[in-house]
């Protein structure tokens, strides 16, 4: 039983829950992206915690963190591009008004 690991994982769980709530409940695309960022951050916490408390010798754990950070950056870039394009064409980034994206 490693208390630190469980604490770190619980914090990851908390971040995940907050992020999930945000991603589902917000109406604005940018706010939804914030929720997704939080979910990814939760993943980061878990990865680092596993690396630290279980396999500190295996650097692939840290490398995975780097990849997730890249994914976060990509998500931002793509998300903002969509936001700009949508705002340009429709004047809104509210998801309520983007129902054709839901289909």
When asked if residue 34 is in the footprint of other proteins (CB under 8 A), the reply is yes
When asked if residue 36 is in the footprint of other proteins (CB under 8 A), the reply is no
Q: What's the min distance (Å) between Cβ of 101 and other proteins?
A: 10
Please give the DSSP secondary-structure letter assigned to residue 18: H
When asked if residue 31 is in the footprint of other proteins (CB under 8 A), the reply is yes
**Contact letters for other proteins, residues 38-67 (x by CB under 8 A):** x--x--xx--xx-xxxxxxx-xx-xx-xxx
Task: Find residue 28's DSSP bridge partners.
Answer: 94
Distance, CA of 2 to chain centre: 26
Calculate Rg over the CA atoms of the chain: 17
Q: What's the min distance (Å) between Cβ of 2 and other proteins?
A: 4
Distance, CA of 35 to chain centre: 6
């Amino acid at each position: 039983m490693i208390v630190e690991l469980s604490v770190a994982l619980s914090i990851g769980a908390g971040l995940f829950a907050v992020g999930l709530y945000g991603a589902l409940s917000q109406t604005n695309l940018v706010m939804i992206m914030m929720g997704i960022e939080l979910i990814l951050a939760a993943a980061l916490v878990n990865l680092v915690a596993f690396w630290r408390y279980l396999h500190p010798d295996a650097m692939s754990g840290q490398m995975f963190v780097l990849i997730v950070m890249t994914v976060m950056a990509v998500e931002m870039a793509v998300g903002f591009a969509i936001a700009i394009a949508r705002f340009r064409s429709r004047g809104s980034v509210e998801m309520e008004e983007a129902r054709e994206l839901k289909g």
